Structure 1
Amino acid sequence: TTAALTAGLERIPDQLGYLVISEDGVLAQSAGEMENDEHTAGIMMEMVRTASRFRLPGTADPAFKRMSILDDFVYVVTISGQKVFVVKRQHNQHEPISV
C-alpha cells in the first residue's frame, strides 16, 4: 500500500518533505514542503532519465540506485521498483576540519 511505502520516508531525520513519482512522472504521493510539487518532480525525473543513460559497457546493472543533489537543502533520490523516491532534507553543513 502507499501508506506502507511512505511510512519509512516520514521517519527520515531532518526530512522536510518527499515525493514518490511513478515512471510516467505523475506524482503518486507527496508531503511536507514537496507536497504536490509537480515542478520539482519533473526536474527530478529528467535528472534520473539523464543519469540512467550512463552505463558501464557490458553490464546490465542500473546506472545508479541513489543520487544526492546538494543545494541549500539535500535532495536524496532513490529508485526502487518502478518508483522514484525523492526526499528533501536539511543540509547540515559541517565546518571544515583544520589540521
Structure 2
Amino acid sequence: MTTAALTAGLERIPDQLGYLVISEDGVLASAGELENDEHTASVMMQMVRTASRFMLSGSVDVPFKRMSVIMDDFVYTVTVSAQKVFVVKRQQNQREPVNV
C-alpha cells in the first residue's frame, strides 16, 4: 500500500495539526507536528494495546474503534482500522461555559 493510500483524507481533517499512521512494525507515515514522532507513536500504540485488553465477556469484536486523548490545547483522535492505528492531532476547540 502506498503512503498516499494510507494518508488519503487525513490532510483534510478540520483543525488537524499532524498525524501518524502506525503498525506493529512502526511508523508508516507522519506529517505536521507529529512528523517522525516515534515517542508519541510508541505511547499511542501502548494505549491501544492496553485498551484492547478490555474485551467484554463473550464478545469477539474489537473492544473499540476510536479513542480520544483530550489535552488542554489539543486532542489526539486514535482510530484502529485494518491492523493500522491512525492518530490525528487536532486543535482543541474550547467552548466557553454557558452562564444561565
Cross-structure match for 2:16: 15
User: Is residue 91 of structure 1 aligned with residue 95 of structure 2?
Assistant: no
TM-superposed CA distance for 1:96, in Å, is 2.0
Deviation at 1:31, TM superposition (A): 0.2
Unaligned 5+ residue runs, structure 2? none
| Runs of 5+ consecutive residues of structure 1 not aligned to the other structure | none
Q: State the shift of 1:43 in Å.
A: 0.3
The percentage of aligned residue pairs carrying the same residue is 76
Structure 1 runs (4+) deviating above 3 angstroms are: none
Aligned residues: 98
1:66-81 alignment runs, 5 A limit: 66-71=66-71, 72-81=73-82
In the TM superposition, residue 82 of structure 1 has moved relative to its aligned partner by: 1.1
TM-score by length of 1: 0.94
SS in structure 1 opposite 2:34?
coil
